[in-house]
Amino acid sequence: MCTPPFISNIKSQQTKAYSSSLSKYSDSRISMAIHKSLFASLLICLLFQISHGATKERLFSDLEKGALEVTAKPSREGVLDAGIDKLSITWKLSSTATKEAEFTTIKVKLCYAPVSQVDRPWRKTENELFKDKSCPHKIITRAYDKSPQSFEYTLERDIPTGTYFVRAYAVDAKDHEVAFGQSTNEAKSTNLFSVQAISGRHKSLDIASICFSVFSVLALLVFFVNEKRKAKIEQSK
Amino acid sequence: MASNEEGSIGTSMHGVTAREQVYSFSVDASSQTLQSDDPTAKFGLPVDSEHRAKVFKPLSFAKPHMRAFHLGWISFFTCFISTFAAAPLVPIIRDNLDLTKTDVGNAGVASVSGAIFSRLAMGAVCDLLGARYGTAFSLMLTAPTVFSMSFVTGPVGYLAVRFMIGFCLATFVSCQYWTSVMFNGKIIGLVNGCAGGWGDMGGGVTQLLMPMVFQVIRLAGATPFMAWRIAFFIPGFLQVVVGVLVLTLGQDLPDGNLSTLQKSGQVSKDKFSKVFWFAVKNYRTWILFVLYGFSMGIELTINNVISGYFFDRFNLKLQTAGIVAASFGMANFFARPFGGYASDLAARLFGMRGRLWILWIFQTVGALFCIWLGRASSLPIAILAMMLFSVGTQAACGALFGVAPFVSRRSLGLISGLTGAGGNFGSGLTQLLFFSTSKFSTADGLSLMGAMAALCTVPVAFIHFPQWGSMFLRPSSDGERSKEEYYYSSEWTEEEKRQGLHEGSIKFAENSRSERSRKVALADFPTPETGTPTHV
């Protein structure tokens, strides 16, 4: 963080200004200096972040559709439990693929179905690839192989509750996506599966929570009653 | 007769008219030993006639004034951490609890709404039980709600818990009340500004602290969905610790604790209904309510939405968005004290009128930069706009609490409470109108909020004190109404004045003469005439 040295500088400046009761001109000069140094430090911090921003505009619509045939078979019927149930994922080159020469790596990801994106703008599908947030969960990354591949994926414990499908991106040597395939149709309505997240709760947490709460209330009551008693004793003296 | 005590704590006029109330401490053996030497010598800092400190030494922990200051702002800081602890963790929480944008928005509204009621109640609690218990109640009774985040499983539970945690923002009122009784009116703007600003910083610190704590817990092996629940134990634990410190190290008033002073008769107990009536009857209270709603109110709203705004609109990483969001809150460290200091400085030169102008200028400038923030489409411009907006708005908060202590002496606590509640009300309202629906984007919401804030700052022109004037009007030229004593003693009925219950207000009125502009103060008539209570 770039701001702490400036804050202590500002604090000492402020104390000096107060105790010597300067005229309003030096007050405004000091505040201007504060604003300038704050702005400068922020700009410096941000220059690093901006360069990471990656404002390339590669679009999803430019990718070759259906270049890979992907299937994702849940280990059992019904709603799957995160952390426990598995997905059997397979992918192979489709007969319609044209850009096969560029494939170096295959990135398989877990993606949200439209029903899980409603009223949740942080999961929105965007055409610009760097902005697209619909496939945040990585399953596996493997070097491209001509033969059919498969992977047994255990649903991670940080997968949220929702409806999903699987998509595999074919990536070239420059780490740019060139093609993809997914386990559902283009409208994302078939072959979807549902996942139920872990609750995140635990008995030990519940107990600790209750203990601390009781302590807090009791401590307050004890102090209160004690002081009332002492005040009464003072008065009766 | 009551005139037996020499050099007793109080005015030298005590006992002259024989109509003053005879206090029971005249019989109390222990208090007489206290009065044998100069009562002001026992204080670490120079004090005025009400034993309020006349200087502010932020690095000191002297009993009771500076200690009260530090305990006050730390309590408030801790509560801000708890209330906004969820905001930087929302990306994890929304996945764990399967929340929608509406759920997140509603929880944000709930997190600031609870305090509307608790801040009102806190004003009364401070007037009746003292600032120490007000603070301790707030901290230690809401700590269980912070711990109860470990039980939450869905949007309803999440909203309920954030609503209950929000109650602890009432510490703002107890903190400001505490500093107002401990520090003299000439420096109250700076002191309240520092206490409020350093407390508000908690809203910025939490944006850095919670993700950091979350990371550490994850590194220790917990899953994300459990780690965020464990992370909430930190603010809860802090609350309990600070609550105990307040009870053991703090003191309600310069002369002692409220219950002890009340029982010994040095401070008379007031009736809640009277305190409430005089607060509500004063139209200035309601103008401050609206004003604070659009300075602190929009600050609270920004604490809830800004991290998500930078994350979504500019595609920053979570940690980066957190740093930007933290900068907004951290600016409070100097911006709010600066506002308070500017208010005090303006008062030295122009009296109360200067304070009102400073308040209007800062708040309007802040609102204009908020409009700019919504319009900015490039990251550096947005950050610049946000920083200028933060300084303007936070300085306005500081300047407002340079004015509030002078609105009433009798109902000081309740007015602090009502003003504070106004802040939360403004936040709930702006979040509901602009950030809970898909009608406008967050960027448009920000600009609209800024426009509404600029409009709602105009009422400051209507605050008029007969003894000091207003933004556009001079003080009253009427001989009686232009005296501070008239304004402050008008809060007491004739019956109460005859009983001498208004003596505290008279003392305060004398000390508040500093709010006259320099020109008028120089032409002031000699003290003995103005020191005479009006009922003689």
Interface of A with B in 31-50 (CB under 8 A): 31, 34-35, 38-39, 42-43, 45-46, 49-50
From chain B, pick out residues whose CB is under 8 angstroms from the CB of A198.
223, 225
How high is the pLDDT of residue B295?
94
Of residues A7, A49, A227, nearest to B316 (C-beta) = A49
Task: Measure in Å the smallest separation between the Cα of A223 and chain B Cα atoms.
Answer: 8
Please indicate whether, in this complex, the C-beta atoms of A223 and B150 are within 8 angstroms of each other.
no
Please indicate whether, in this complex, the C-beta atoms of A223 and B229 are within 8 angstroms of each other.
no
In whole angstroms, give the CA distance from residue A138 to residue A117: 18
Q: Tell me: pLDDT of A4 over 50.
A: no
Residue of B nearest to A195 (CA): B98
In whole angstroms, give the CA distance from residue B121 to residue B168: 12
Task: Measure in Å the smallest separation between the Cα of A156 and chain B Cα atoms.
Answer: 10
Q: Tell me: pLDDT of A93 over 80.
A: yes
Q: For every one of its 536 residues, what pLDDT tens digit does chain B have, with 9 covering 90 and above?
A: 444 444 445 545 555 555 544 444 333 333 333 344 455 557 778 888 778 888 888 888 888 888 999 999 999 999 999 999 998 888 889 999 999 888 888 999 999 998 888 888 887 788 778 889 899 999 999 999 999 999 999 999 999 999 999 999 999 888 888 888 888 877 777 888 888 889 989 988 998 888 889 889 999 998 999 999 999 999 999 999 999 999 999 888 887 777 666 655 555 567 777 778 888 888 999 999 999 999 999 999 998 888 878 877 887 877 788 888 899 988 988 999 899 889 989 988 988 999 999 999 999 999 999 999 999 989 999 999 999 999 999 999 989 988 888 888 888 777 888 888 899 999 999 998 988 877 777 888 999 999 999 999 999 999 988 888 888 888 877 777 778 888 888 888 888 777 777 777 887 788 788 778 776 655 554 444 333 443 44
From chain B, pick out residues whose CB is under 8 angstroms from the CB of A213.
143-144, 147-148
ipTM, 2 dp: 0.74
How high is the pLDDT of residue B152?
93
How high is the pLDDT of residue B534?
39
Please indicate whether, in this complex, the C-beta atoms of B263 and A235 are within 8 angstroms of each other.
yes
Sign for the CA dihedral angle at A58, A64, A69, A74 comes to positive
How high is the pLDDT of residue A95?
85
Higher pLDDT residue, A137 or B21? Answer: A137
Please indicate whether, in this complex, the C-beta atoms of B264 and A235 are within 8 angstroms of each other.
yes
Please indicate whether, in this complex, the C-beta atoms of A200 and B144 are within 8 angstroms of each other.
no
Please indicate whether, in this complex, the C-beta atoms of B150 and A205 are within 8 angstroms of each other.
yes
Q: Tell me: pLDDT of A206 over 90.
A: yes
Please indicate whether, in this complex, the C-beta atoms of B315 and A50 are within 8 angstroms of each other.
no
How high is the pLDDT of residue A31?
66
Which two tokens mark B395? 């300085």
Q: Which residues of A117-129 are buried (b: 16+ CB within 10 A; e: fewer)?
A: beebebbeeeeeb
Whether B451 and B367 have beta carbons less than 8 Å apart is answered as yes
Half-sphere exposure (Cβ direction) of B79: Cα atoms closer than 13 Å: 36
Residue with tokens 């009798």: B410
Question: With an 8 Å Cβ cutoff, is A1 touching chain B?
Answer: yes
Question: With an 8 Å Cβ cutoff, is A84 touching chain B?
Answer: no
Beta bridge partners of A169: A107, A180
From chain A, pick out residues whose CB is under 8 angstroms from the CB of B136.
220, 223
What is the tally of helices (H) and strands (E) in chain B? 26, 0
From chain A, pick out residues whose CB is under 8 angstroms from the CB of B95.
158, 160, 197
Of residues A3, A208, A219, nearest to B140 (C-beta) = A219
From chain B, pick out residues whose CB is under 8 angstroms from the CB of A12.
none
Whether B405 and B192 have beta carbons less than 8 Å apart is answered as yes
| pLDDT band for position A109 (cuts 50, 70, 90) | very high
How high is the pLDDT of residue B147?
95
Interface test with A, best of B66, B229, B251 (most A CBs within 10 A): B229
Q: Give the contacts of B351 (CB within 8 A, at least 6 positions apart).
A: B468, B469, B515, B516, B517, B518, B520, B521
Q: Give the contacts of A118 (CB within 8 A, at least 6 positions apart).
A: B100
Please indicate whether, in this complex, the C-beta atoms of A120 and B94 are within 8 angstroms of each other.
yes
Beta bridge partners of A90: A71, A150
From chain A, pick out residues whose CB is under 8 angstroms from the CB of B331.
38
Please indicate whether, in this complex, the C-beta atoms of A208 and B244 are within 8 angstroms of each other.
no
How high is the pLDDT of residue B181?
84
Overall residue count recorded for chain B in this entry: 536
A78: helix, coil or strand? coil
CB atoms within 10 A of CB A139: 19
In whole angstroms, give the CA distance from residue A112 to residue A133: 9
What is the percent of chain A with per-residue pLDDT over 90, rounded to a whole number?
Answer: 31
In whole angstroms, give the CA distance from residue B338 to residue B194: 8
Interface test with B, best of A84, A116, A122 (most B CBs within 10 A): A122
Separation in Å, CA A170 to CA A106, A190, B455: 5, 22, 55
Closest CA to B288 of B194, B418, B394: B418
Overall residue count recorded for chain A in this entry: 237
CB atoms within 10 A of CB B257: 19
Please indicate whether, in this complex, the C-beta atoms of A7 and B330 are within 8 angstroms of each other.
yes
Q: How many beta-carbon contacts under 8 Å exist across A and B?
A: 170
Please indicate whether, in this complex, the C-beta atoms of B345 and A39 are within 8 angstroms of each other.
no
Whether B145 and B79 have beta carbons less than 8 Å apart is answered as no
How high is the pLDDT of residue B107?
92
From chain B, pick out residues whose CB is under 8 angstroms from the CB of A7.
330, 333-334
**In 3-state terms, chain B is what percent helix, strand and coil (to 5)?**
70, 0, 25
In whole angstroms, give the CA distance from residue B224 to residue A200: 8
Closest CA to B195 of B475, B401, B408: B401
Q: Tell me: pLDDT of A136 over 60.
A: yes
Which two tokens mark A164? 């999903």
How high is the pLDDT of residue B117?
86
Of residues A157, A206, A213, nearest to B143 (C-beta) = A213
Please indicate whether, in this complex, the C-beta atoms of A122 and B244 are within 8 angstroms of each other.
no
DSSP result, B294-309: TTHHHHHHHHHHHHHH
Task: Measure in Å the smallest separation between the Cα of A219 and chain B Cα atoms.
Answer: 8
In whole angstroms, give the CA distance from residue A204 to residue A206: 5
Question: With an 8 Å Cβ cutoff, is A228 touching chain B?
Answer: yes
In whole angstroms, give the CA distance from residue B122 to residue B175: 10
Burial class (CB in 10 A: 0-12, 13-18, 19+), A57: exposed
How high is the pLDDT of residue B291?
95
At B359, give phi and psi (nearest 5°): -60, -50
Residues B343-374 have pLDDT tens digits of: 989 988 988 999 999 999 999 999 999 999 99
Higher pLDDT residue, B97 or A12? Answer: B97
Separation in Å, CA B256 to CA B174, B247, B262: 17, 13, 10
Mean pLDDT over A214-228 rounds to 91
Of residues B133, B144, B225, nearest to A216 (C-beta) = B144
**In 3-state terms, chain A is what percent helix, strand and coil (to 5)?**
40, 25, 35
Q: Supply the pTM of this predicted model.
A: 0.77
Q: Where are the beta strands (DSSP E) in A94-233?
A: 105-112, 137-143, 149-154, 162-171, 177-182, 193-196
How high is the pLDDT of residue A15?
53
Question: With an 8 Å Cβ cutoff, is A10 touching chain B?
Answer: yes
Alpha helices in B2-64 (DSSP H): 29-34
In whole angstroms, give the CA distance from residue B178 to residue B138: 14
